[in-house]
Amino acid sequence: MAELFQGHILKSITGLPVEADDLRNKVVALYFSGAWYSGAIEFTLTLRDFYAALTEEHPPEPFQVVFVSLDRSSEEMWEYVWELHGDWLVVPWDDPIRKQLKERYNISAIPKLLIVKESGEVITDKGRTQVQERGLAAFKSWLEATEIFQNFCR
């Protein structure tokens, strides 16, 4: 995933810069959503709880959500992030990769949760359904598919 964001700086929920290398050896979920679509709010809250359950364990699971906003403005995006999101990373509003990701992954409806490998290869484009139907068990299958434990042995 660090490869996908190479040369780009992500932001924390507080707006601080985060290097793409922080995504190494993690299961990464690209979350495409926007505050303007009321249908996305319910799943955003579900994803926030899912993320918290995984990352508040001791030790925390290797999982990170990267929010890719489809909001109409930077202000709308940050309001949505601060009000409803978990402690996720955010693709900055003015970074061209935001639109490139939407095109690369053919995002035509939101909310959309893609689980991807470090290379950007899609593990599943049905992350939303899997979270809703399988809960935390979905993470275990994503973890196996990412093969990140091999990276720890290098």
CATH number of the domain where residue 129 is located: 3.40.30.10
DSSP per residue, 56-117:
TSSSPPSEEEEEEE--SSHHHHHHHHHHH--S-EE--TT-THHHHHHHHTT--SSSEEEEE-
Q: How many domains does the chain have?
A: 1
Question: Residue 19: inside a domain, yes or no?
Answer: yes
Question: Residue 2: inside a domain, yes or no?
Answer: no
60: cis peptide before it, omega within 30°?
A: no
- Select from 17, 16, 50, 54 the least CA-distant residue to 31: 50
Question: Residue 1: inside a domain, yes or no?
Answer: no
DSSP helix/strand/coil, 33: strand
Question: Residue 34: inside a domain, yes or no?
Answer: yes
- Select from 30, 41, 99 the least CA-distant residue to 65: 30
Q: Degrees (nearest 5) of the Cα angle 3, 62, 127?
A: 80
Per-residue pLDDT of 9-54, as tens digits, reads 999 999 899 998 889 889 999 999 999 998 899 999 999 999 999 9
The range of the structural domain enclosing residue 45 comes to 9-145
Per-residue pLDDT of 85-120, as tens digits, reads 999 999 999 999 999 999 999 999 999 999 998 889
Name the residue with tokens 């489809």: 70
pTM for this structure? 0.92
Question: Residue 102: inside a domain, yes or no?
Answer: yes
The count of other CB atoms within 10 Å of the CB of residue 33 is 27
Question: Residue 101: inside a domain, yes or no?
Answer: yes
